[in-house]
Amino acid sequence: MFILRSIFVDPWPFWAGGIIIGLLVPLLYYYFNTALGVSTGYGNLVKIFLPAKNLQWIKTKYAETFSWRVYFIIGIILGGLLSAILSGNLGITTEMGRFTAIAGWPGVLNAVFFFVGGILLGLGARIAGGCTSGHSIHGIANLHISSILATIFFIIGGIITANIVRSLFLGGAW
């Protein structure tokens, strides 16, 4: 079954992923009049996991704790799980590509490294008003200036730290 294998087992070509992800933008407007976006839902997670109920921003913006944004987040996790199950790649792993392969750090340091990077992602997304899905895909597809500008600086930031990490911790290899 070539077609099933192409969908569920083999990695997709870039355009296949691009088409599905791009179609989400008009589809979410058609069904729910809602913009594609993931990072705003992390505010719901703050309300769920951290003592933040009295913070003004959480109170006003996240009146409903378990809103559709939480369901979207759960769905994306399940999508990754489904992909791993169907392609036979499911398994709990402490690998993170060439980073864990080359840097060879103890697990605790790796955890701190990714946690600190995560803080920058969460903080930056809120200050910039969106992330790769909300700004870079949804926003640029709608030709929003703020999204084009934000995306340019997302990329500049990524180039800076990825190259620093590469030369400091990955020995410039790769």
| Chain residues 60-89 in contact with another protein, contact rule CB under 8 A | 67-69, 71-84, 87, 89
Q: How many binding residues for another protein (CB under 8 A)? A: 128
Applying CB under 8 A, does 171 fall inside the site for another protein? no
Shortest distance, CB of residue 38 to another protein, whole angstroms?
4
Distance CA 36, CA 125 (A): 14
Shortest distance, CB of residue 3 to another protein, whole angstroms?
14
Segment 80 to 139, residues that bind another protein, using CB under 8 A: 80-84, 87, 89-100, 110-139
- Comparison of 104 and 120: residue with beta carbon closer to another protein: 120
Distance CA 73, CA 154 (A): 22
Distance CA 99, CA 21 (A): 27
Segment 139 to 168, residues that bind another protein, using CB under 8 A: 139-147, 149-166
Distance CA 170, CA 100 (A): 9
Residue 50 structure tokens: 């951290």
Which residue type does 30 have? Answer: Y
